[in-house]
Structure 1
């Protein structure tokens, strides 16, 4: 069981996913008034939690919904303005102003008079949708209205996704990952000194209160369900606060990462025994008094009492899960709390229903505090991941790869010494000997510590490649005592690097961070362009660069067959004064940072905001094949690259 705790942190570190959102679907129909007069009807179906803005919005607000009808042939005339429904006028939390918008559905009507015979009328709608925390980029959707026998049921459905067919679908594995990690977290929480001793106490209560075995099983099941409900309510509350989908920028926000670093340090210090994070005793006393009541109410308050009393141990774990899940967006907090509560509820319910099983449980003792301390070390290591992300986004170079690895080696090395009994902390019991389980776990941690040491000299460390800063973000990109391995074969040895280019360590891939310079060089040498929309704080980007790109076939293409342009969408360095421009997504707002420039390019051109995002294009900036996102299989990624190159050569 203790090995599961170690697995818990390794898996926690590997969760990372992004989303492509298309919450609006448009359909068209036509209402015939007479032989020459018609009403063009455009209906928007809007997903739950999103809203579509009206045709008129205040200055400095969102992009309004705008309809354009192609009357260039003079076949019809537009009569008046496009009408819209009443909608909702509220104080919008995103823009901080009173705005009219629509939820669930919105219908727009435009009256026309036909002057020539015409079968269809074309047009398009430009619109923006937001939820309570974020907005998607303005989108244009083509509309077609048939004036010949089209009824409402036969309306042509045009979806945002269908016009963005080059955007890859994202898998739903993120929610399964959240659930699995949360479930393991619940198992880890069970083995803490605040929760484990509660199991026999709970069993004793149900044994005394239940007159028959059937009643005992029924009460135990009810108790387990109540535990799940309590934590689900917490997850639902967080989902409500963060909205249906959290801000995509949250994971790259400097202040969020610094705050989470400090929060995890506090959690870690608490687990290590410096102090306890506890809810007010008055809460526990009031809830405990209600638990004496019979029936469902009493059982529910017993479950609530468990949650409050055990908070000093479960709080840091739940807090970590909730913030991590909230940054993923959607229903991730609810899924996380379901997995966590299920892991806790099942043992309590099963042991309460079958008290005889208690004989198989180990006795409470000092090992419970060992579990708590172990989790404290893991929380401390995870904290530096978030500090590293803030440093990467700022490009401050305060926590480069070698420094990060040195900190992790120190943390896990200290943990190994602790597990071997060489270090004692405030709440530890005397340790006359080391158990087999503790020794085994100590050996695993020591092996992991030794595994990381070569990383100080440039080893890639593929097992944890997503978590330290990338290899090029280090004091010595090629490893201590080493220089670059050679020159990329697109260059001769004496030619030198082109303007704006650098060699991406440690594989010596020629790369540009400027779009125009990279495109110009590609035209000069006659090779296709690969745009790599990436981010300094992008976990999956690092996994691609360190696990997929080194594949010999992939690396050969990246070094010799394409010109790589890496655009960091979270680069917070300011643009040069002559490069500051007005945002096309938010008129009146300026693009001041390098990352904003590349993020807007990706959003407008490809209607995508997830990283990594790879585009292969020709010299006319046309896609050679549909772009792709994260691909863990090198063979699949090589096939995509090869297909694009073959298309370029035709």
Structure 2
């Protein structure tokens, strides 16, 4: 009795301290308006979502690769015959940033943001559109990331019957300096469209419905004000600005590709032949220089036109489709393999000779038109060498914005055309060019190996998206190691391919290239044994279990069993989820509780997410510490609960949440609901220590739960405090 009395004040103190740390964060609030309150059948209008974001937080936008990690802002619209979607949602004024953790470009909003979705109305009447929005907000202050879900309502929209003579209503264009007006409209929006934030009870019995707001006249006035404040021109102007940083880097890469194309066997010998045409004959030197400039400009125009055509074919949804769908990725994989084998000499890719001859005949006519057709002839004749390089640029650019193919072709063609123009102006420089020879085919073969390595990236994207498990990280690395090793041996002259000439001696250039190739191969080898290889994180599949079981000398020894104990169950979802550092554990709380009871151990609950940056940082820098890893392996049963996983729950496990009244249909939504309902927290990472015999809630936590904690000593103290408390409770029973 005395012992129970002693524990009472301790328990009350713990409860008060837990209550002080628990909070539901709502850094992003959404409101909805429409670009015009009325329309006619067949007309298009825009559904607008305005976001207000707390200071020092950011909201991820729509237009970046969803495979990078962060949750892309997305909608799930309720289907209706009264309207149809036109294109993909667009982010207005989003910033672009290269994320070092995810190794790719992400777009995001700070303070305010706007996302627009075009629709076409199809039936007359009063139209109200409903959608479920999914998004993610993060802060760099303490690393928290908050997944969000919200039910949105747009309208009502007064749709009249089609009238041929009626002019289409559009939003009035405004000057670019409308950011303040946008902010003002966003601030005023709550008066017309109340917010239902993720994690709050729905205001009506229908969990998918947001309150419609005041009378239609008030809504119409607000819609008109927003339409006048934010014009479609602002969205168009924002995209190039947001993309500028990444496009400059891509343009430089394409420029380097263009330089590499110049030193291929199909192009290099043509430089002196072409330049001699402009420096000989009856033309004056100034006219010859002008013709050379037009020739170079024509090359640029031809390749940029190719980029424009590709951008037009991609359309609005092209980049996202190629980034996420299996078919385009497999097509690019096959194309890159064909290009690579062509460079290695298996066959030659050429255009029809009849086409080339017709173009060449036009060039023979002379004059300025003849100069253009000379440039076109060069493009066609050199296709067997430049085609694979151009295809590589277009393939890589298709994973970015629509403007990327144009920028890529501009960078490539600038490098490709520059020597022809410069050597025509300064013909004496021709004497400094090295002679044609076997080294040109060496360059071509080297590019072939690079093409084959790049091809694996496209196969990997399809493999990861659809869980085929054809190309796990280990096999990916083995193929790259083999290709880079073969390239090194080739450069050293250890074997020859079909078009190679005899190698009488090893040049310094080949030797240095071989050193780079073997160095790259050596860098890759530790990745087979679990090394993260941060320089290549954007190109490699995610790190998981390794088939190479020899432990690295510096890595702590951990068990790699599928389950913590033979008496415990095989983990659900263990076929596609796993814990880091060889830890064994679970991904379902009920399973973990049963196992912990059987082993008489406390639970270590890890609320995490695939898109959680600081979750990965904690695993890499804190969990990997021998003190932490030893405790997690020996003293706790670990359960990782992903709040953003998209796998569908079995029909028997789908339920309606008592917390927010919404149906939970995926594993991620179930885990996020548990974190909110039981612990009143919605940020990750979030770590809870729990007695498996007690309910999963804040009141029964063994120690105050913690979030992102990079201090290893503090994390160890957290684990030890929970373990000590659990042992006290066991002793008191």
TM-score, scaled to structure 2: 0.56
Cα distance in 1 between the residues matched to 2:398 and 2:443: 26
Decide whether the 8 Å contact of 1:514 with 1:565 is kept in 2: yes
TM-aligned CA distance change 1:20 to 1:345, over 3 Å:
farther
Give the aligned partner of residue 386 of structure 1. Answer: 458
Q: Counterparts of 1:276-425 in structure 2 under 5 Å?
A: 276-425=348-497
Cα distance in 2 between the residues matched to 1:432 and 1:378: 25
Cα distance in 2 between the residues matched to 1:500 and 1:263: 38
User: Aligned with 2:610: secondary structure?
Assistant: strand
Decide whether the 8 Å contact of 1:252 with 1:570 is kept in 2: no
Give the aligned partner of residue 99 of structure 1. Answer: none
Cα distance in 2 between the residues matched to 1:530 and 1:280: 56
- Work out whether 1:507 is the aligned partner of 2:581: yes
Cα distance in 1 between the residues matched to 2:163 and 2:487: 56
Give the counterpart of 1:530 among 596, 599, 608: 608
Give the counterpart of 1:439 among 511, 516, 522: 511
TM-aligned CA distance change 1:57 to 1:180, over 3 Å:
farther
Cα distance in 2 between the residues matched to 1:533 and 1:518: 23
Give the aligned partner of residue 83 of structure 1. Answer: 158
TM-aligned CA distance change 1:527 to 1:377, over 3 Å:
closer
Give the aligned partner of residue 122 of structure 1. Answer: 192
**What are the Cα deviations for residues 291-312 of structure 1, in whole angstroms up to 9, with x where unaligned?**
1233432221111111111110
Cα distance in 1 between the residues matched to 2:518 and 2:550: 26
Give the aligned partner of residue 269 of structure 2. Answer: 197
Give the counterpart of 2:297 among 187, 208, 225: 225
- Work out whether 1:243 is the aligned partner of 2:319: no
TM-aligned CA distance change 1:600 to 1:322, over 3 Å:
farther
Q: How far off is 1:617 after superposition?
A: 7.3
Give the aligned partner of residue 94 of structure 1. Answer: none
Decide whether the 8 Å contact of 1:238 with 1:333 is kept in 2: yes
Give the aligned partner of residue 52 of structure 1. Answer: 119
TM-aligned CA distance change 1:296 to 1:187, over 3 Å:
same
User: Aligned with 1:532: secondary structure?
Assistant: coil
TM-aligned CA distance change 1:148 to 1:194, over 3 Å:
closer
Decide whether the 8 Å contact of 1:487 with 1:493 is kept in 2: no
Cα distance in 2 between the residues matched to 1:598 and 1:175: 37
Q: How far off is 1:462 after superposition?
A: 3.0
Q: What runs of 5+ residues in structure 2 fail to find an aligned partner?
A: 1-66, 75-88, 93-113, 132-154, 174-188, 197-207, 233-240, 596-601, 633-637, 657-663, 687-706, 719-733
TM-aligned CA distance change 1:504 to 1:305, over 3 Å:
same
Q: How far off is 1:209 after superposition?
A: 5.4
User: Aligned with 1:327: secondary structure?
Assistant: coil
Decide whether the 8 Å contact of 2:351 with 2:383 is kept in 1: yes
Q: Counterparts of 1:174-185 in structure 2 under 5 Å?
A: 174-185=246-257
Give the aligned partner of residue 498 of structure 2. Answer: 426
Decide whether the 8 Å contact of 2:529 with 2:546 is kept in 1: no
Decide whether the 8 Å contact of 1:46 with 1:52 is kept in 2: no
**What are the Cα deviations for residues 610-634 of structure 1, in whole angstroms up to 9, with x where unaligned?**
xxxxxx979567655999xxxxxxx
TM-aligned CA distance change 1:419 to 1:153, over 3 Å:
same
User: Aligned with 2:541: secondary structure?
Assistant: coil
Give the aligned partner of residue 550 of structure 1. Answer: 620
Decide whether the 8 Å contact of 1:511 with 1:565 is kept in 2: no
Q: How far off is 1:482 after superposition?
A: 11
Cα distance in 2 between the residues matched to 1:547 and 1:213: 63
Cα distance in 1 between the residues matched to 2:580 and 2:247: 34
Q: How far off is 1:317 after superposition?
A: 1.3
Which stretch shows the higher mean deviation, 327-336 or 475-484?
Answer: 475-484
Decide whether the 8 Å contact of 2:593 with 2:603 is kept in 1: no
TM-aligned CA distance change 1:302 to 1:53, over 3 Å:
same
Q: Counterparts of 1:612-623 in structure 2 under 5 Å?
A: 623=682
Decide whether the 8 Å contact of 1:51 with 1:103 is kept in 2: no
Give the aligned partner of residue 63 of structure 2. Answer: none
Decide whether the 8 Å contact of 1:268 with 1:375 is kept in 2: yes
**What are the Cα deviations for residues 364-398 of structure 1, in whole angstroms up to 9, with x where unaligned?**
11111100000001111222233333333443444
Give the aligned partner of residue 286 of structure 2. Answer: 214
TM-aligned CA distance change 1:360 to 1:173, over 3 Å:
same
Q: Counterparts of 1:446-457 in structure 2 under 5 Å?
A: 446-457=518-529
Decide whether the 8 Å contact of 1:182 with 1:340 is kept in 2: yes
Q: How far off is 1:290 after superposition?
A: 1.2
Cα distance in 1 between the residues matched to 2:652 and 2:504: 70
Give the counterpart of 1:255 among 327, 334, 337: 327
Decide whether the 8 Å contact of 1:292 with 1:298 is kept in 2: yes
Cα distance in 1 between the residues matched to 2:122 and 2:625: 50
Decide whether the 8 Å contact of 1:462 with 1:547 is kept in 2: no
User: Aligned with 2:119: secondary structure?
Assistant: strand
TM-aligned CA distance change 1:341 to 1:510, over 3 Å:
farther
Cα distance in 2 between the residues matched to 1:345 and 1:305: 13
**What are the Cα deviations for residues 151-189 of structure 1, in whole angstroms up to 9, with x where unaligned?**
9779785899xxxxxxxx987543233222211111111
Give the aligned partner of residue 585 of structure 1. Answer: none
Decide whether the 8 Å contact of 1:251 with 1:257 is kept in 2: yes
User: Aligned with 1:231: secondary structure?
Assistant: helix
Q: What runs of 5+ residues in structure 1 fail to find an aligned partner?
A: 1-14, 26-44, 68-79, 90-101, 108-118, 127-137, 161-168, 535-540, 583-590, 606-615, 628-639
**What are the Cα deviations for residues 547-566 of structure 1, in whole angstroms up to 9, with x where unaligned?**
89524599899989x98544
Q: How far off is 1:149 after superposition?
A: 11
Cα distance in 2 between the residues matched to 1:368 and 1:598: 55
Decide whether the 8 Å contact of 1:269 with 1:376 is kept in 2: yes
Cα distance in 1 between the residues matched to 2:358 and 2:123: 53
Decide whether the 8 Å contact of 1:85 with 1:106 is kept in 2: no
- Work out whether 1:270 is the aligned partner of 2:348: no
Cα distance in 2 between the residues matched to 1:285 and 1:227: 18
Give the counterpart of 1:460 among 517, 532, 540: 532
